[in-house]
Each structure stands twice: as C-alpha cells, then as structure tokens.
Structure 1
Amino acid sequence: MDAPFLVAGLGNPGAEYAQTRHNIGFQVVECLARRWGCGWEESRRLRARMARAVFAGQRGWLCEPLTYMNLSGEAVGAALDYYQVPLTRLLVIVDDADLPLGVLRLRPEGSAGGHHGLESIQSRLGSTAFARLRVGIGRQAGQPRELASHVLSRFAADEKVVADKAVERAASQVECWLAHGVQSAMNQFNGPVERPSSQENAE
C-alpha cells in the first residue's frame, strides 16, 4: 500500500481568526473534508485538528495546526512523524499576499518566500523538498511589506466571491495532485480563477 498522505492547511485557531485572509489554508482543507465526508478530531499529542481521509484509493490525513501560524512546523512535523508520512506525500496550503486574489501557485518544493508558516515547517523538517500550494489573497495598492493587519482582515463582499472560488479550485488541485501527481496539478490549475467581469479589478 502507498505511504499515507498529509495535506496541511495553515492558519490561526480561534473564532477571531476564522475567515481571515491568513486562514485560507484552513478553508481549503475544510472544503476537502466536506467533499470527502471526513470528520475532524482534535489531537493534543499533535497540537492539531486532524481528519482521516481516503481519496482515489489512497489513505491519509487532513491537518489544521493549532499552534498558530508561526509555529506550524511543530504540528506538521509531529503529524509526519506519528503517521510516518514521507516528504513526497506532504502538501502544505498557505495564503500569499504577493499573489493577486484568487491566483493559485503549486510548486513541488522551494523557499518560504517570507511566509512564517512555511519557514516554521522548513525549519522543523530541515528541508524545502515538499509540495506547497499558495493561494493568492492580494494586497492593497501601495501597501508596505508589513502585512499583519491585511492578512488578519476578512475579505470584502466582492473579494469573498473570488476567494470562495479559489478555495474550491484549490481543493480540486489537491485532488489532482493526489490522483495524477504534482506536474499535472500544476499544469491544470496554476493561475487565476475565473471571475465575474465586474470584479476584474476587485483587488
């Protein structure tokens, strides 16, 4: 049997952070859990919410770290160790303020690009050799590099239409990654989601 997979969506726990831009990784794995009929359980050992999953004949786990974004590596690393998941079967989903709203960018490996959640995971694992899916959350024109207030804000109504479509498309990209591999998932899904013409310049 194939090694188990782990799909980790990053975010911050707690009602005050729900539906914020920084939590779009949570939204993608929650979308997958709904599609696959998975139930969530909180693991104190792993410091994460975990959902046992089966897709395309493969078994694995969905993961939401409860460590807060900057310590995501503690939960993801613990889950990899506990379930004996190889790096080739790990996919991490994060927000990206440097990508326009709704743009998806899957890569088989790479740098953290300033994302503290990815930095934490790469530090814990001692490797950058795992897949990561960035979901664009946009940024305000002229906004400085310090993005704390922006990433912790919620989407405006017109932005949420695009963000919701991006979440669904990202979930489909994860399914393609599992069924057909990273190259196929990149070729089919990387890029912007379709958006209503009235929202072309929403971000």
Structure 2
Amino acid sequence: MGRIRDFWSRLRGPRPEPVRAPSRLIVGLGNPGPQYALTRHNIGFRVVERLADRAGAEWREEASLDARVTAIELAGEDCLLLEPQTFMNRSGRSVAAACERWPDLDPTTDVFVVYDDLDLPTGRIRLRASGGGGGHRGIGDVLDELGTRALPRLRFGVGHPGSGEEVIGWVLGPFPEDEEAELPAAVDRAADAIESALRDGIPAAMGQFNGSS
C-alpha cells in the first residue's frame, strides 16, 4: 500500500507550499472564467492582478478558500492577494474563509476590497474606510459574511448605462475600445492608491486619490 501511495504522490507532483499567514488581505472582486476577464464587473480582479504583476508574483489555486491567491510584499506588509472563484454574488464565502483561517486578520483594518462601482465615471476611484454595499451584491455579500460595514475598500468607477434595467448587461459587458485604452493608467492609479492606504493610512490616501480622476 505504501508503494501505491508513493506512486500516486509522484503522479500528482509536489504539494504547493502552505500559504504563510498574511498581515493584510487584499481582495479583488469579479467572476471566474476567461469569458468574464474583460468585463466591467471584473475590474477588481484586474487591479489586484496589477499589484501581483508589479511584484512578479504567480497566482495559485487555493481550494480551501475557493479562490486564487498570491503573496506579495506591499508597503512593508506581507499581503495576500485573493480573487474569489465563487462568482460575484457569493464572494463573501472566500473572504470569510480567509479570515477564519487567519484569525489575526481584523476585517476593519487588515482586509481591503476592490470592486466596480456604477455610480462613478469610468476610471474614477474612491477609497473608503467603511460603508454599505450600495446595491453591489458582491461587496454586500462580503459585508454580510464578515458581519461588519467597517471594511476598507476601493470603488472603481465603471459608469452607468442610464437605466436600471440595463445594469446586468452593462456590468457583464466589456468596456468600449476608447475606455479600454485608458484603463491601464486608471488601474495603475488604483494600485498606487491601495499601496498608499497601506503605507500612509486611508485618510491620507483619500486626500490624495479621491479628489481627482
């Protein structure tokens, strides 16, 4: 039996190293799958992926969290970047699982969530230390699962279609070419804002980044 277990172990390959306990958890919200990658709803994924790219970090699947994760150092902090793979409306399950796994993480100070916002023009960002879900089911589920509204977050504007009946198609659709061309700079600015929030605190970062596009 031992030789059989060894055979299957070699066949599966080496086990990945366990994820080290982070001091900060940075969550990007979105939907899994290539068909959603360039949609407005997935801008949260794109922001945390920019942070990972800057650090040269590689993503891995973490089944216990139902998420993709990678570890980076940002502003002197050991950060875990997390992309829930639960689909948007159940994002809170992954975030809550991470907080349960590392109970030293305080959602009110150590967890940071990035997501799309219909009420901001495309590319505009807003940092907040707390607040409600504003009708966004992804962040709403995170707040419900964590049991607090005092959750630091960055809202990334994706514009509004003008009619509530068109919202679902809007957020699940791609940016038009002219907006897509300008997104890299806006995503970079969002990544800078997160780093500033970790380094200088949210009030200081709000003063620097909330007042301009």
Counterpart in 1 of 2:151? Answer: 130
How many aligned residue pairs are there? 191
Counterpart in 2 of 1:196? Answer: none
**2:149 maps to amino acid:** T
* Whole-Å separation in 2 of the counterparts to 1:165 and 1:192: 13
Any idea what SS the aligned residue of 2:97 has? Answer: helix
Counterpart in 2 of 1:95? Answer: 116
Residue 162 (structure 1) shift: 2.7
Counterpart in 2 of 1:164? Answer: 184
- Equivalent position to 1:175, from 189, 195, 206: 195
- Equivalent position to 2:92, from 55, 70, 73: 73
* Whole-Å separation in 2 of the counterparts to 1:131 and 1:66: 21
Normalised by the length of structure 2, the TM-score is: 0.86
* Whole-Å separation in 1 of the counterparts to 2:127 and 2:175: 22
* Whole-Å separation in 2 of the counterparts to 1:105 and 1:162: 17
* Whole-Å separation in 1 of the counterparts to 2:212 and 2:123: 6
Residue 161 (structure 1) shift: 2.3
Same amino acid, percent of matched pairs = 45
* Whole-Å separation in 1 of the counterparts to 2:125 and 2:90: 24
Counterpart in 1 of 2:170? Answer: 150
**1:44 maps to amino acid:** A
**1:56 maps to amino acid:** A
Q: Which runs of 5+ in 1 are unaligned?
A: 194-203
Larger Rg: 2
Any idea what SS the aligned residue of 1:166 has? Answer: helix
Question: Hey, which bits of structure 1, 4+ residues long, moved more than 6 A?
Answer: none
* 1:120 aligns to 2:110 (yes or no): no
Residue 145 (structure 1) shift: 5.1
* Whole-Å separation in 2 of the counterparts to 1:191 and 1:13: 32
- Assess if the C-alpha contact under 8 Å between 1:102 and 1:192 holds in 2: no
1:162/1:145 CA distance change after superposition, 3 Å: farther
* Whole-Å separation in 1 of the counterparts to 2:212 and 2:120: 10
* 1:49 aligns to 2:68 (yes or no): yes
* 1:11 aligns to 2:30 (yes or no): yes
Q: CA RMSD in A?
A: 1.5
Residue 150 (structure 1) shift: 0.3
* Whole-Å separation in 1 of the counterparts to 2:205 and 2:26: 14
Q: Which runs of 5+ in 2 are unaligned?
A: 1-21
